[in-house]
Amino acid sequence: MGDDGINAFIAKIKYSATFKRVQGGALASKELINAYSRGRLTLRAMQKLPIEEHPELALSANFWLPVQSYYAIHGVGLATMVALGRSSPKGHRSFCADFSELVDRYFPDPLCARCVGGPGKEEFSFQKLRTSIDKVTRQSQLANPEFVEEVEDIIGKSLLTTRNRILDFLFSNRRSEKQKAGKRNLSSEEKRSCCQKEHATSICDLMYRIRVRSNYDNPDMYLFAPDNAENASKHYRDLLYLTEILVAGLDALIERRIGSREMTVLKSRFQ
């Protein structure tokens, strides 16, 4: 889709009633500039790698790509929250929670999609996504969509598996706390309470999950993957494009708050 896809995405954001209600007049504060610069410089490093001319570079570049992608979004995302007058989140879970609210409010589908509920299969549901828990659980994570309708099932699958990982982590922590106090394992009601308190799982949680997996869970999964250079470079381009389109949406919100002139000055640092 390239630039046409990004332009269409931005146009849908700017057409929405919630975007039009965002008031201007914010200042490009030092906090905003610092966060934005960190995110944009990280994205710039991703864009500068000559993957088209040297696709073999992607075999090792994919080792760091999920980390770069998340931190590009993290930097520009923090700048967006500052521009919107929100308090800066403390920690990655808080950032993902705030980002979940942001995409729900301002982004068009399917990037505004969210997964909520749990822990039982019938207790999960999807917001702003035309799918169901039955379709999602039947969907293979390794499948390439043959039809447009299947795209939303795959998105739902990614959000569901991400939410399950988050919930497993929360249950484990809560279980350890109880066991230290000499108590039994978690009850169904205690698990359900954890699920209700957990923020809706969004694209940001997925990006953070990929980042953590590439750093800690399976750091060699990209470096020693059996893919050839062509497949590796395609993966690189796809994740780069997803990062670019998310950053473009965040840029639109920042510009709405600080004005086009200030935004031009801000972005000119990274041309």
Residues 265 and 228 in one domain: yes
Domain boundary at 201, 227, 256, which?
201
**Residue 61, token pair as written in the block:** 């570049």
Whether 256 maps to a domain, the answer reads: yes
Whether 208 maps to a domain, the answer reads: no
Residues 223 and 156 in one domain: no
Question: What value does the mean pLDDT take over residues 167-174?
Answer: 93
Q: How far is 37 from 117, CA to CA, in rounded Å? A: 36
Give the pLDDT confidence of 248-271 residue by residue, as tens digits: 999 999 999 999 999 999 999 887
Domain boundary at 144, 169, 201, which?
201
Instruction: Tell me what pLDDT residue 214 has.
Output: 77
pTM of the model: 0.92
Contacts of 60 (CB under 8 A, 6+ apart): 223
Instruction: Tell me what pLDDT residue 1 has.
Output: 55
Residues 191 and 225 in one domain: no
Residues 188 and 130 in one domain: yes
**Residue 93, token pair as written in the block:** 């879970």
Whether 97 maps to a domain, the answer reads: no
Whether 98 maps to a domain, the answer reads: no
Q: How far is 191 from 4, CA to CA, in rounded Å? A: 44
Give the pLDDT confidence of 109-127 residue by residue, as tens digits: 999 999 999 999 999 999 9
Q: How far is 5 from 26, CA to CA, in rounded Å? A: 28
- Confidence class for position 231, pLDDT limits 50, 70, 90: confident
Whether 23 maps to a domain, the answer reads: no
pLDDT: which is higher, 162 or 180: 162
Total of domains in the chain: 2
Nearest to 27 by CA among 269, 235, 265: 265
Q: How far is 200 from 11, CA to CA, in rounded Å? A: 25
Instruction: Tell me what pLDDT residue 185 has.
Output: 82
Residues 134 and 167 in one domain: yes
Cα dihedral angle (182, 184, 188, 193), rounded to 10 degrees?
0
Three-state secondary-structure class, residue 200: coil
Residues 1 and 80 in one domain: yes
Q: How far is 121 from 137, CA to CA, in rounded Å? A: 9
Instruction: Tell me what pLDDT residue 40 has.
Output: 97
Give the pLDDT confidence of 186-202 residue by residue, as tens digits: 889 999 999 999 999 99
Q: How many helices (H) and strands (E) does the chain have?
A: 12, 2
* Domain limits for position 155: 113-201
Domain boundary at 173, 201, 229, which?
201
Please state, for a pLDDT cut of 90, what percent of the chain lies above it: 72
Q: How far is 211 from 219, CA to CA, in rounded Å? A: 10
Give the pLDDT confidence of 33-88 residue by residue, as tens digits: 999 999 999 999 999 999 999 988 888 888 889 999 999 999 999 999 999 999 88
Residues 184 and 247 in one domain: no
Hey, CA dihedral for 20, 21, 24, 30, is it positive or negative? negative
- Judge whether residue 143 has pLDDT over 90: no
Residues 187 and 237 in one domain: no
